[in-house]
C-alpha cells in the first residue's frame, strides 16, 4: 500500500507534493468505528502534512477473519491478521494502534511496548487505575529504548480547541475561575437498544463516564493547564435491563432484528454528573450522558477567567467564542472566531481560508502529532501518564458516587 514515489523523491498529495520520508509502519488492532476513524487518519495524514516519516498501513488485526479482510480492503491495509500477538510479532510493524474495547488495552499495549513498538491507544486508556498504571510503567520502560506511547484523546486536535489552548496559555483569560463541560448524546434513549459491550462493565470499565466523561476530563484539564484536585459525583443507570444482542426475533424494524427477547443487566452508568476543584481553586462542573434526547454529539466547554471567557461546542466545531473582558464595557461581548484560517492550529496544511473541517480531521491531526513525536524522539501528549491521571479522576468519580459522601439529600 506504499504511496508511489517519483524519481525526484516526492509523491503527489491532495494539496501538491510532499517529500517521501522513511516509512512508519502501522499495525492496527480493531476495525470497528474507531478502527475506521484511525485508518482514515493514517491514510490521509501523509497526503496533507509534510512529515519526516510516511505512515504505511501495513497490517490490521481482528478476530473474525472474513470481517478483518473486508476491513483491510475497505480501509487500505496491506495485510490482515486474526491474532494481535502475531501482529505484534511482525518485524515490519513500527507502531501498534489499539482501537479495541477497553478490556484489552492493557494487555496489548504492554506487550507491544515490551516488544519494541510505539503505541497509540484509544481512550479511555484502560478499564481501571491498576491497568493504567501498568501501561504507564511499560511506557516508561519503552522510553529508555526510544519508543513512545500516546493515548487518543482526539478532541484536543480540533483546531478550535487547540486555539483555545494557545489563547489560555498566552494568558488571555487570566486566572481561571470556572470550567463548565458537558458531553451529551442520546443513542440510549430507546430502552430496547441492545446490551452491547459499551453497556457491560467487564468490557467497557464504565459507561458514559469512561466513554464521554474521559474526553471532557481530559479536555478540561488540557485547557485549564492543571489537574483536578477532587470531585463530588452522582451517577445513574436509568434502564437496568436491555435486550441481549443475538438471534433475530422480530422483523419490526432494522434496529431490532439483532435482539433476543431475553434481557441482560446493564452494569455501567448511563449518566455521570460531577463537580470538581482544580489545584488552583478554579471550580468545574461535568455532565456525561447518552440520554440527552436530541443532543447527538454535544461536547460543550466554557471557561471563565478573570480577563475573559472562551466557549466551544463540538456540534459547531469550526467556531470558538471569545469574550475579551479587557475591552471597553460598551463594546465587549462574546464574538465568534471562525477557526478556518491558515494562522490557526493545523489549518495551514488544509484548504484555502474559510473552508471548514469536521470530526474525521481530528484523527488526521492525531496521526500527524504522533508521527512528529516519533521522528523527534519525544514523549507525545497526551502521554500514558496523562491517560492514567484521567483514569484516576474517573475512579474518584465512581468512588464519590458510590459513597454519596458529600451529596446532601433534601427532605420532601
Distances in Å between the alpha carbon of 9 and those of 5, 17, 44, 54? 6, 10, 19, 12
Closer CB to ligand SOE, residue 212 or residue 385? 212
Q: Is 269 a binder of ligand SOE (CB under 6 A)?
A: no
CB of 145 to ligand SOE, least distance (A): 30
- Minimum CB distance to ligand SOE, residue 41 (Å): 13
Backbone angles phi, psi at 339, to 5 degrees: -90, 75
Where in 275-314 is the site for ligand SOE (CB under 6 A)? 297
Cβ of residue 354: shortest distance to ligand SOE, in angstroms? 26
Contacts of 233 by beta carbon, 8 Å cutoff, 6+ apart: 272, 273, 274, 275, 396, 397, 398, 400, 401
Closest approach of ligand SOE to the CB of residue 193, in Å: 12
Other C-beta atoms closer than 10 Å to the C-beta of 169 total: 11
Which grid cell is 165?
489552548
Query: Is the distance from CB of 339 to CB of 316 less than 8 angstroms?
Result: no
For the bound state, the minimum distance from the C-beta of residue 151 to ligand SOE, rounded and expressed in Å, comes to: 12
Provide CB contacts within 8 A for 353, sequence distance 6+.
Answer: 340, 341, 342
Report yes or no: 276 and 234 within 8 Å, Cβ to Cβ: no
Q: Closest distance between ligand SOE and the C-beta of residue 104, in Å?
A: 15
Calpha distance 106→119 (Å, rounded): 11
Shortest CA distance to 126 belongs to which of 136, 111, 115?
Answer: 136
Q: How far is the CB of 28 from ligand SOE (least distance, A)?
A: 16
Closer CB to ligand SOE, residue 213 or residue 308? 213
- Residue nearer to ligand SOE on the CB measure, 211 or 287: 211
Site for ligand SOE in 326-365 (CB under 6 A): none
Q: Which of 81, 103, 131, 211 binds ligand SOE (CB under 6 A)?
A: 211
103 binds ligand SOE (CB under 6 A): no
Angle at 70 between CA 68 and CA 72, to 5 degrees: 70
Specify the residue, 198 or 368, whose C-beta has the smaller distance to ligand SOE: 198
Taking the complex as a whole, the smallest distance from the CB of residue 290 to ligand SOE amounts, in Å, to 6
CA triple 28-33-36, angle to 5 deg: 50
Instruction: Please compute, for residue 22, the number of CA atoms within 13 A of its CA located in the half-sphere on the CB side.
Output: 5
Whichever of 54 and 289 has its CB closer to ligand SOE, that residue is 289
- Residue nearer to ligand SOE on the CB measure, 40 or 297: 297
Could you say whether residue 185 binds ligand SOE (CB under 6 A)?
yes
Contact 151, 121 (CB under 8 A): yes
Instruction: Say what angle helices 129-143 and 105-114 make with each other, to 10 degrees.
Output: 10
Residue nearest to ligand SOE (CB): 211
Compare residues 33 and 334 and give the one whose CB is closer to ligand SOE. 33
Residues in 25-64 that interact with ligand SOE by CB under 6 A: 33
- Give the residue among 245, 169, 171 at the shortest CA–CA distance from 203: 245
Please state the closest distance from residue 186 (CB atom) to ligand SOE, in A: 10
Q: Which is nearer to ligand SOE, 110 or 299 (CB)?
A: 299
Is 110 or 292 the residue whose CB approaches ligand SOE more closely? 292
Write the DSSP assignment of 266-281 as a string of letters. --S-SEEEEEEEETTS
- How many residues bind ligand SOE, per CB under 6 A? 5
Question: Could you list the residues that contact ligand SOE (CB under 6 A)?
Answer: 33, 185, 211-212, 297
Amino acid at each position: 500500500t506504499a504511496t508511489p514515489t517519483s524519481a525526484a523523491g516526492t509523491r503527489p498529495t491532495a494539496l501538491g507534493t510532499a517529500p517521501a520520508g522513511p516509512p512508519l509502519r502501522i499495525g492496527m488492532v480493531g476495525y470497528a468505528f474507531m478502527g475506521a476513524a484511525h485508518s482514515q487518519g493514517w491514510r490521509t495524514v501523509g497526503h496533507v502534512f509534510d512529515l519526516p516519516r510516511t505512515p504505511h498501513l501495513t497490517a490490521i488485526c481482528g478476530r473474525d477473519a472474513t470481517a478483518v479482510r473486508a476491513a483491510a480492503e475497505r480501509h487500505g491495509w496491506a495485510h490482515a491478521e486474526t491474532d494481535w500477538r502475531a501482529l505484534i510479532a511482525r518485524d515490519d510493524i513500527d507502531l501498534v494502534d489499539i482501537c479495541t474495547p477497553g478490556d484489552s488495552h492493557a494487555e496489548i499495549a504492554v506487550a507491544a511496548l515490551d516488544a519494541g513498538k510505539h503505541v497509540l491507544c484509544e481512550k479511555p486508556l484502560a478499564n481501571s487505575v491498576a491497568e493504567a498504571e501498568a501501561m504507564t510503567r511499560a511506557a516508561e520502560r519503552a522510553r529508555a529504548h526510544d519508543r513512545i506511547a500516546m493515548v487518543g484523546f482526539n478532541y484536543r486536535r480540533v483546531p478550535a480547541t487547540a486555539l483555545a489552548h494557545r489563547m489560555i496559555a498566552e494568558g488571555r483569560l487570566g486566572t481561571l475561575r470556572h470550567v463548565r463541560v458537558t458531553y451529551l448524546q442520546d443513542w440510549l434513549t430507546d430502552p430496547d437498544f441492545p446490551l452491547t459491550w459499551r453497556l457491560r462493565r467487564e468490557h467497557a470499565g464504565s459507561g458514559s463516564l469512561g466513554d464521554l466523561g474521559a474526553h471532557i476530563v481530559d479536555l478540561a484539564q488540557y485547557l485549564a493547564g492543571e489537574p483536578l484536585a477532587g470531585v463530588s459525583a452522582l451517577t445513574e443507570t436509568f434502564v437496568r435491563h436491555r435486550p441481549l444482542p443475538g438471534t433475530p426475533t422480530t422483523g419490526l424494524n432494522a434496529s431490532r432484528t439483532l435482539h433476543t427477547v431475553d434481557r441482560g443487566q446493564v452494569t455501567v452508568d448511563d449518566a455521570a454528573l460531577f463537580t470538581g476543584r482544580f489545584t488552583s481553586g478554579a471550580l468545574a462542573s461535568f455532565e456525561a450522558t447518552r440520554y440527552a434526547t436530541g443532543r447527538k454529539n454535544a461536547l460543550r466547554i466554557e471557561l471563565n477567567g478573570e480577563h475573559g471567557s472562551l466557549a466551544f461546542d463540538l456540534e459547531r466545531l469550526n467556531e470558538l467564542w471569545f469574550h475579551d473582558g479587557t475591552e471597553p464595557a460598551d463594546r465587549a461581548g462574546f464574538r465568534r472566531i471562525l477557526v478556518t484560517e491558515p494562522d490557526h492550529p493545523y489549518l495551514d496544511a488544509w484548504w484555502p481560508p474559510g473552508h471548514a473541517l469536521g470530526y474525521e480531521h481530528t484523527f488526521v491531526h492525531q496521526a500527524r502529532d504522533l508521527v512528529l513525536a516519533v521522528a523527534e524522539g519525544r514523549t507525545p501528549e497526551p502521554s500514558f501518564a496523562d491517560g492514567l491521571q484521567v483514569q484516576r479522576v474517573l475512579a474518584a468519580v465512581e468512588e464519590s458516587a458510590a459513597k454519596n459522601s458529600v451529596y446532601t439529600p433534601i427532605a420532601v
